[in-house]
Amino acid sequence: MTGWQPTATLQTLQKRADLLARIRSFFMVQGVMEVDTPVLGECGVTEPNIDTIEVLVCGQLRHLQSSPEYFMKRLLAAGSGPIYSLSKVFRDDEKGSRHNPEFTLLEWYRPGWDEVQLIAEIEQLLAALAPRFSTVRRITYREAFFDATGFDPHSVDLDVLRQLASRACSGDWQQESRSTCLDLLFSFVVEPTLHTGVVIISDYPACQAALARLDQDAEGVTVARRFEVFIDGMEIGNGYFELTDAAEQRQRFDADIELRQRSGKKPRAADQRLLAALDAGLPACAGVALGVDRLLMRLLDIDRIEEVLPFTE
């Protein structure tokens, strides 16, 4: 059989090992404990845009985890204090220059912090990894979207969003939701404008809250306390001032499940153990997940993800 050799050079793999070591060193100095959570779980995420990979284990259906988040929040509810994970995660997603079904995720949580404090720590980590990452531009979702489209994402009419989506990407978007249209426009219209340096975008539309709290911005508009990190136009990370209210989390799970059903996607059950942890008392905290493979791509100015992975199959 041919094609047995690594997809990354040995020099790149050494730099990958160095990156992992530097990340661990950073968190050791910060007093954040590394945790090792299961790769297999009873539940997959309900989020409509993420499909987990199902496997049969001892006759029972299990899911390769798309994030260690649910397990980590159970640890937080148990009193773990600040924690991080460097782990393999899996998504039944497209495979391309920036995507691989199996990838490495750095995820960490800070009890007692909000997203503003966590963003400051992300900036510290990036600056420690590369001097060129020390300059960070912070903007709101509204600012980024308006600069690229001329419309306010929080108030623009849904029909206008659908028209903009149809122009940006071929296809019929007239039945799509507000969140879906915003996702598409952000990917195809806004992200190309974030082509240089580190950009952190905050205050996402309420319809894209995911697991973030809702709050009012300076103009009195309800926004999600969520942020994303981009480096040279590539999304690297996604973080939240975490939702801790179990009742609201149940409602969001139910809404996700209904949307998956309407979209013809495989059903996903809400993670009852996570909900029980929230009922028991998840502390106020902020959390973020950073894609390590993509981070290494930006550090080394590499455009294809397989070139930073030892193997893709």
What is the per-residue pLDDT for 1? 54
**Residue 87 domain-assigned?**
yes
**Residue 32 domain-assigned?**
yes
**Residue 237 domain-assigned?**
yes
**Residue 17 domain-assigned?**
yes
What is the per-residue pLDDT for 108? 99
DSSP-H helix ranges across the chain: 10-30, 69-77, 115-129, 141-149, 158-168, 178-185, 246-262, 272-281, 292-300
The alpha carbon dihedral of 177, 180, 181, 182 has a sign of positive
User: Closest Cα partner for 142 from 131, 134, 154?
Assistant: 154
**Residue 225 domain-assigned?**
yes
Distances (CA, A) of 18 to 21, 131, 217: 5, 16, 40
Domain tally, the chain? 1
**Residue 284 domain-assigned?**
yes
**Residue 302 domain-assigned?**
yes
Q: Which residue shows structure tokens 């008392």?
A: 281
Identify the domain containing residue 120 by its residue range: 10-135+197-308
Other CB atoms within a 10 A radius of the CB of residue 285 amount to 22
What string of pLDDT tens digits covers the 313 residues of the chain?
Answer: 578 999 999 999 999 999 999 999 999 999 999 999 999 999 999 988 889 999 999 999 999 999 999 999 999 999 999 999 999 999 997 788 999 999 999 999 999 999 999 999 999 999 999 999 999 999 999 999 999 999 999 999 999 999 898 888 877 777 788 988 899 999 999 999 998 899 999 999 999 999 999 999 989 999 999 999 999 999 999 999 999 999 999 999 999 999 888 888 888 899 999 999 999 999 999 999 999 999 999 999 999 999 999 999 8
Q: What is the CATH number of the domain that holds 267?
A: 3.30.930.10
The alpha carbon dihedral of 260, 263, 265, 267 has a sign of positive
**Residue 150 domain-assigned?**
no
